Amino acid sequence: MNFINCQLFKMPSYNQEINVDLNSNENGALKTDAKDGKIDESRYVSTEQVANSTPMGLNADQRLAFALRDFLTPPSIALSDGEPSPSALGQTLPFIDEQIDGEEATQSEEEPPQCRDTDDVLNNAACRLRRWRAASRKLRRPRIINNLSTKDEKEGNVSNCNGGHTDLADRLRSLAAAGSMSASAGELLSLAPPPPAATAPPSPGCLLSPSLADQSSAEYFGSSPECCAGSAGLDSSSTGTPAPPPGPRYKLATEGSLRVCCFQHTRTVVDKILAAKFLRRWETHVLCLEEQHIISKTPSGLLENPLSYSCMQEVYCISRWDPARKYCLRIVMPHGSLLLQANDAYTRDQWYHSIMWRKNMIRYRNFLTKTVRKEVVIKELKNMVDFVMTTPLQDESVTRAPMQILTDLLSEKRESDDWEEWAENATSAAAPLLAERCATGELCALLARLCRRRPRAAPLPALAPPVRRVLTRNVDFARAPNARRLVRDYISALSAHNSGRSLVRRFVEVTHGSRASCPYPRAAPNLAAVALAALDDHYRNAASPHVCDDAEDEVLCFADILAHMCEYEDWLVVVGAILQPVPLCAGALSCPRVSARLGGLLKALAHDPRCAAHACVAPARAARLCPPSWLRAAAPSEPMLALPHEDLCLIWGDMLGSLLNCCCKRKSFLQSMSKQLPDLVLVALTAHPAAIEALCLFLEWEITNGEQTQLEIIAALQGSELGQKYYKDLCERQQNLQRLQAEGGPRRLALPVRATDADVAALLDAGALGNLECLSLAFTSVTSACAHHLIKLPSLRYLNLWATKFGDSGVQLIAEHLPKLQVLNLCETPVSDKGIEALSGLSNLRRLNLNSTKLSAEAFEILRQRLPHLQEYDIRYTEAW
């Protein structure tokens, strides 16, 4: 041979990409360019300028083998510039369908390479390529080598040929992508043999075989500082939570119209002729995907019988027909294949993933329920979780079926002795699945049982997501008692650890979130309801004289949760509303350790400036008889909270002071507090300013008429220096009030436009106004603050507040202290239904102007019923008009 002694040229390296189009060489000969004699369809791409080293005088198959010499060489051999080419090595070239043993492929350094004639080597390779091509053509499969990326040396641009897209290459590349491994072209050609005749690869990028790496469940646990610290140090390149591949998402297909074609696998010449394209018959069916099989709504023709998922050997998309707009799906059966054609690629892929999901769910259910070995079940359970987490289907039923399988696994072995260990392993394996969907009632009961039996060994990272999902999405615990039990037992398991208190605090912090306000409106009510229910269950049947024991340590964490929730401003209002009226039993209130935590909660409510927060300690309209409110439960005279007397007086005085400084400085509120006059006296003796101020208002507004009661109040005021100061100021105000209410002064009075609250106060201090019956403050700048001065005019019958800033609090005050008022003008004032409803106590009111106010129709109807003597009213430009 004249090419044996030719100079060896530099061969392409193993990382270079070589693409050969075998589809264009059906007759065994390659197309060549007649002008320059270069191979047109067979080229390789290199980053360096490599000369054409193909020897002359070779036939088509030998040229193809020479172009693939690097692919046919084992990847363990590295070439250099001074080494001979693979064609000069005496190494046996492997067949395409056999695997090379690493020990046989690696030559010893002591043994020199056995030289073989280059012509024999090329003939051997060409023979194997012809055998491979013939087998592929016989099995009616596309070629298994991709086209080569051709590089135009003159223009410098790279163009890809898509004519030879192969099935085996797609399968191997998909496996390599799913397993996060890199596979070179030489490794692809040295892998397992091609599948049987009736098999084909799945669609590219949609491999559904669960082959993900082990995930870490530490990131699912957000309620433990230790676990968070452990997960924070993980490498960012770790696998973490399984995720579906990038691309479109699909809904689980249940029904659709597709074209169907069926053909038998060709084994004889007659079968091959009958299965030809021009003899195939297509039918249109409306298919329904059921649990066990696929049926047609019109069972006739090709789909007269249901198509069972268990009989499907393989399902794949025929992507090579997409350029012709034939979006087909092939289902391989034992004796034939079924083609399903959709209108577009999205529908085709949707049906493909839906069929694969139902097929795999049947396989997982049968395997997990019949396997006895626990380690095998756990491994297969992980595979099922990976499959569910990586499927591009997004539907509730996609996770509902695996959750039911998990529930069945945990429930069927619950009577065994090692159920706790088995449930712990199964729950840890299904952690990603539990984080994606709410657990059912039966599964919640099983997980709660695991927390009760093994509180210190329970898989807390796996249970944290379902617990938080229950707290953030549950609406009514009465309909989901098992869900509430799961949250309760999970919190108890947290507190059972050595750092239980810090774990519970961290749990509340994670449930609230890092924002200023919690994004979940149901989280706070649900968490407070679980804590209160746990405390009530433990102390409901407690003995009357309370005795502390070690069993209380299990429920003190729920009192800690209520205290931790009050650290957030948005949750403080929610907790206060739930605690009004007092929802705890007497046994819980008599526990000193629980009362200490509730005392901190009451302090937080009392010191909050928002009316919605501190108003929660006041008696509610639908209050219980025992105890009606926190003012009654924390009363120093008959306390229900087991706190020291000094702490009770301080807390009770703070609650009373917050109410008086806000919206409860009214006669009606003090009248309701007259039953707790002994508590006011006890707190006033401790020099608390709120109680002293309340006693002064009792005397000033004449709430108590008994002489003995007034003497007791005066004695309590004189019992401290601060009380004496308040009583001295009260006496001075009473003297001024007597001078103000003395007979004399004008009957009608109107203030100028620029008058303010200070002008009104100065007017009343000027002299006697006992005869004043008509006062006009129209178009002035007075506010509700001047109501404290107007109530000193008990003979006032006409009051004009047109176009002022007089609000609801001022209207409520004058409605209680000016019973002789007959005419009231509130036109163009910011009063609302809250203040207008208080006017129902003015029985002598005859004329009322509510023009351009925030009056509603419902409030006006109530006002008309309670004021039957109202003769004239103006409600224009209101909702009631």
The answer to whether 777 and 754 have CB atoms below 8 angstroms apart is: no
Q: Quick one: average pLDDT of 738-749?
A: 85
Choose between 53 and 285: higher pLDDT: 285
Q: Is residue 119 part of a domain?
A: yes
Which of 365, 371, 370 lies closest to 384, judged by CA? Answer: 365
How is residue 149 annotated by DSSP? Answer: -
Q: Average pLDDT for residues 750-773, to the nearest whole number?
A: 88
Q: How far apart are CA 566 and CA 571, in angstroms?
A: 6
Identify whether 133 is part of a domain.
yes
Of the candidates 255, 338, 339, the one whose C-alpha atom is nearest the C-alpha of residue 290 is 255
pLDDT at position 41 over 80: no
Q: Could you tell me how many residues make up the chain?
A: 881
Based on the number of CB atoms within 10 Å of its own CB, is 753 exposed (0-12), middle (13-18) or buried (19 or more)?
exposed
The domain boundary residue, chosen from 313, 337, 359: 359
Give me the sign of the Cα torsion angle 289, 291, 296, 301. positive
Average pLDDT of span 841-858 = 93
Query: What residue spans of 636-720 are helical by DSSP H?
Result: 645-660, 667-672, 677-685, 689-700, 707-717
- What are the DSSP calls for 787-834, one per residue? HHHHTT-TT--EEE-TTSB--HHHHHHHHHH-TT--EEE-TT----HH
Confidence at residue 783, expressed as pLDDT on a 0 to 100 scale: 94
Does the residue 685 lie in any domain?
no
CA-atom Rg of the chain in angstroms: 44
Report the pLDDT value the prediction gives residue 627, as an integer from 0 to 100.
Answer: 61
The span from the CA of 66 to the CA of 485, in Å, is: 72
Q: What is the mean pLDDT of residues 567-586?
A: 92
Work out the pLDDT band at 277, boundaries 50, 70, 90: low
SS3 662: coil
Specify whether 159 is located in the same domain as 279.
no
Higher pLDDT, 628 or 136: 628
Distance (Å, whole) CA 220 – CA 783: 55
- Of the pLDDT bands very low, low, confident and very high (cuts 50, 70, 90), residue 437 is confident
158 plus 298 within the same structural domain: no
Helices 441-453 and 396-412: crossing angle, nearest 10°?
40
Over range 293-300, report the average pLDDT.
91
In the predicted model, what is the mean pLDDT of residues 647-655? 95
* Residue 217 in tokens: 């469940």
**What is the per-residue pLDDT for 132?**
61
pLDDT bracket for residue 126 (50, 70, 90): low
Q: Are residues 261 and 115 in the same domain?
A: no
Q: What is the pLDDT of residue 756?
A: 94
The region of weakest confidence among 176-185, 470-479, 537-546, 655-664 is: 176-185
CA–CA distances in Å: residue 572 to residues 158, 473, 482, 536, 578: 66, 20, 27, 21, 10
User: In the 8-state DSSP scheme, what is residue 579?
Assistant: T
Residues forming a β-bridge with 293: 308
**Hunting for tokens 């006059």 — which residue is that?**
677
Number of Cα atoms under 13 Å in the Cβ half of residue 48: 9
Q: With a cut of 70, say whether residue 30 has pLDDT above it.
A: no
Who has greater pLDDT, 501 or 324? Answer: 501
Question: Are 22 and 158 contained in the same domain?
Answer: yes
Whether 273 and 150 map to the same domain: the answer is no
If we measure between CA atoms, which residue out of 541, 631, 540 comes closest to residue 582? Answer: 631
Q: What is the pLDDT of residue 238?
A: 39
Question: Best-predicted range by mean pLDDT among 36-50, 421-435, 544-558?
Answer: 421-435
pLDDT at residue 7, as a whole number:
39
Query: Alpha-carbon distance 490 to 14, whole Å?
Result: 56
Higher pLDDT, 15 or 610: 610
DSSP H or E run through 119: helix 118-138
Q: How many Å apart are CA 309 and CA 292, to the nearest integer?
A: 6
| Structure tokens, 466 | 């379902």
Give the lowest-confidence range in 72-76, 320-324, 616-620, 816-820. 72-76
Assess contact for 727 and 714: CB atoms under 8 A: yes
Mean of pLDDT values over 228-256: 65
pLDDT band at 278 (very low <50, low <70, confident <90, very high): low
For residue 394, pLDDT beyond 80: yes
**pLDDT over 70 (residue 524):** yes
Identify the pLDDT of residue 141.
Answer: 40
Domain of residue 771, residue span:
741-874
Between 52 and 253, residue with greater pLDDT: 253
Average pLDDT of the segment spanning 740-768: 88
Please indicate, yes or no, if residue 558 is contained in any of the structural domains: no
Output the CA torsion 529→533→534→539 (10° steps). 140
Residue 688 has pLDDT above 90, yes or no: yes
Domain total in the chain:
3
DSSP assignment, residue 216?
Answer: P
Mean pLDDT for 354-378 is 91
Q: What's 273's domain CATH number? A: 2.30.29.30
Strands (E), 53-109: none
Both tokens of 6, joined, read 């030719």
Residue with tokens 């005085």: 653
Cβ(158)–Cβ(45) under 8 Å?
A: yes
Check residue 335 and give its pLDDT.
81
Q: Is residue 664 in a domain? A: no
Q: Which of 14-18, 279-283, 437-441, 834-838 has the lowest mean pLDDT?
A: 14-18
Q: What is the residue whose two structure tokens read 């001047």?
A: 786
Same domain, 133 and 278: no
Residue ending a domain, choose from 164, 184, 210: 164
Same-domain status, 156 and 15: yes
Higher pLDDT, 149 or 300: 300
Cα 84–chain centre separation = 63
Per-residue confidence band for 564, with pLDDT thresholds at 50, 70 and 90: very high
Mean pLDDT of 394-412: 90
> In b/e form, how buried is each residue of 188-225, taking b as 16+ CB within 10 angstroms?
bbbbeebeeebbbbbbeebbbbbebeebbbbbbbbbbe
Pairing of strands 282-289, 17-20: unpaired
Helix (H, G, I), strand (E, B) or coil at 316: strand
Q: Which of 108-122, 452-466, 823-837, 845-859 has the lowest mean pLDDT?
A: 108-122
Q: Which of 21-25, 523-527, 622-626 has the lowest mean pLDDT?
A: 21-25
* Domain endpoint, select from 299, 333, 359: 359
Whether residue 125 is found in the same domain as residue 272: no
Those residues whose C-beta lies under 8 Å from the C-beta of residue 92, and which sit 6 or more positions away, are: none
* Paired tokens of 781: 């700048």
Give the chain's mean pLDDT: 77
Residue 238 lies in a domain: no
Looking at residue 619, what is its pLDDT?
A: 81
Confidence of residue 774 (pLDDT cuts 50, 70, 90): very high
Residue 243 has a pLDDT of 78
Burial of 861 (0-12, 13-18, 19+ CB in 10 A): exposed
pLDDT number for residue 625: 57
Contacts of 854 (CB under 8 A, 6+ apart): 830, 831, 832, 833, 878, 879
pLDDT category at 63 given cuts 50, 70, 90 is low
The CATH number assigned to the domain holding 807 equals: 3.80.10.10
Whether residue 581 has a cis bond before it, omega within 30° of 0 = yes
- Do 3 and 145 fall within a single domain? yes
Whether the predicted pLDDT of 71 surpasses 90? no
- CA-to-CA distance for 173 and 440, rounded, in angstroms? 39
C-alpha of 419 from chain center: 30
668 in Cβ contact with 841 (< 8 Å): no
pLDDT at 598: 95
Instruction: Check: CB of residue 518 under 8 Å from CB of residue 570.
Output: yes
Q: How far apart are CA 253 and CA 315, in angstroms?
A: 15
The verdict on residue 349 lying in a domain is yes
In a domain, 48, yes or no: yes
Indicate left, alpha or beta for 437 from its phi (over 0: left) and psi (-120 to 50: alpha): beta
Say whether 52 sits in a helix, a strand or coil.
Answer: coil
**Confidence (pLDDT) at 405:** 93
What's the confidence (pLDDT) of residue 336?
Answer: 84
